[in-house]
């Protein structure tokens, strides 16, 4: 998978977008989304694998979701 992206250096300023009826935080790339998934799991004492991340269909960014809700989109590069 080619990862040719124009990376703009930007301060961390989470964008959000509406997915279904939820306003979700957007993560700029997969690494960030993955890291955030682990962080949130650790913060909330969730079992590893509770959260998945996926590429948004509305824009070039990523979101987190419960693995159970998404049918398991958790994946690694
Ligand atoms: Zn989105």
The tens digit of pLDDT for each residue in 10-69 reads 555 567 888 777 788 999 999 999 999 999 999 999 999 999 999 998 889 999 999 887
- Torsions phi, psi of 54, nearest 5? -150, 155
Whether the full predicted model's pTM is greater than 0.75, yes or no, is no
Buried b (16+ CB within 10 A) or exposed e, 38-47: eeebeeeeee
- Torsions phi, psi of 45, nearest 5? 55, 40
Closest to 54 (Cα-Cα) out of 13, 24, 21? 24
> How far, in Å, from the CA of 47 to the mean position of ligand 1?
25
> How far, in Å, from the CA of 61 to the mean position of ligand 1?
6
What is the token pair recorded at 61? 């960014």
> How far, in Å, from the CA of 13 to the mean position of ligand 1?
15
- pLDDT recorded at residue 22: 77
């Amino acid at each position: 998978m080619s990862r040719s992206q124009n990376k703009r250096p930007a301060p961390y300023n989470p964008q959000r977008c509406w997915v279904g009826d939820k306003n979700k935080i957007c993560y700029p790339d997969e690494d960030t989304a993955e890291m955030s998934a682990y962080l949130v799991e650790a913060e909330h004492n969730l079992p590893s694998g509770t959260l998945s991340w996926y590429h948004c269909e509305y824009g070039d960014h990523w979101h987190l979701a419960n693995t159970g809700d998404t049918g398991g989109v958790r994946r690694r590069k």
